[in-house]
Structure 1
């Protein structure tokens, strides 16, 4: 992403961050598209007006995935607590005066969610949330988009996105063969599903 494109997105996000009113910006896209990187940059440049609440904090714990027989599909829509995520977004929109809302995070080193890791103060005007399924229209996921003031979809060419995704898995502990198989058999199946939500976004960001 070049400096001009980033500056335009920061300006657009800043227009949502109006003190006295809580808004939510959602950033969706396929695995490896750059969602978490862009979201962190936006929040970092908004001078305390925004907080980042990733969807990944609602991953089911590995123990529960094993119990359900879904561990080999970790990252698919039914490996998250979608209803819990929707409930949190609704609570964040309400922004009850004097009440800090605590959101979960996801520890990539542990590959586990961590409860109560992200404090969201009631006077922060913008929540930025990012994840694969913000534009998904099945089950509880269909309730996410109506809770967002804006939804962006990040579009990155697969020839760049897939190698980046493999490298991320390697960086967090998978050997390269395992990482390549996981991307081919799991992440890319999820990416095709995520792509179906592209047309529901308010803005498509073509990543460079």
Structure 2
């Protein structure tokens, strides 16, 4: 199923290629929706279509723009990590806007889940890479600064299984991090699920909406 969805997204990108500027594609959805797995599959599929040493497409996840835990703790937001206010949203939006027309190589942060922090300059975007796939929860939020990217995206995709399925996935994710099932469910319900509901409620309609529920635990989950 993930292969079928990746093909649908690739076909959409092909129909929306921009001339003179980079093609910026947004893949959004609530936490644990499968958007990260889908975005990675799309980039791999696009790059498999050419033999150049320069990648045809590069993935830039929004998660790299998480505020540092020390900043969140000082602001009383550590328990809300993953909520919109726990990201450098303005910095992220400015970086994506620059990507559309940048002529030089640029570098972007990558979030390391095991270390629970962002690593600066870990993702390089080659100046000749013509497609950038952006992935994250809040890309289509109809509020500032997120909506300032509306005209930057050549194509938008929204991935959203049911809330019941998301609850199962979120609980499982916390179990994988060492929490017992009861504590894992509590963590999901107090932070992740409210974030998921907000994403579903407040996001603009995407060009392509994918509601499929991928194999329940056969995927990597992300914020």
Same fold per superposition (TM over 0.5): yes
CA contact (8 A) 1:50 1:124 kept: yes
- Secondary structure class of the residue paired with 1:139: coil
Residue 119 of structure 1 corresponds to: 124
- Which of 201, 212, 218 lines up with 1:196 in the alignment? 201
Corresponding residue for residue 152 of structure 1:
157
Higher-helix-fraction structure: 1
The change in CA–CA distance for 1:25 and 1:42 in structure 2 (over 3 A counts) is same
* Aligned ranges 1:25-174 → 2 under 5 Å: 25-47=25-47, 48-96=55-103, 99-174=104-179
> Residues 31 and 207 (structure 1 numbering): CA distance in 2 closer, same or farther, change over 3 Å?
same
Separation in structure 2 between the aligned mates of residue 188 and residue 180 of structure 1, nearest angstrom: 10
Deviation digits for residues 80-131 of structure 1 (CA, Å, limit 9, x no counterpart):
00000011001111121xx210011101111111110000001111100111
CA contact (8 A) 1:19 1:125 kept: no
| C-alpha contact (below 8 Å) 1:24/1:128 kept by paired residues | yes
The gaps in structure 2 that reach 5 residues or longer are 48-54, 214-223
Instruction: Name the SS of the counterpart of 1:53 in structure 2.
Output: strand
Aligned residues, how many?
206
User: Using a 3 Å threshold, how does the CA distance of structure 1 residues 11 and 139 change in structure 2: closer, same or farther?
Assistant: closer
Task: Name the Cα RMSD after superposition.
Answer: 1.9
Instruction: Point out where structure 1 has 5 or more consecutive residues left out of the alignment.
Output: none
- The yes-or-no answer on 1:185 pairing with 2:190 is yes
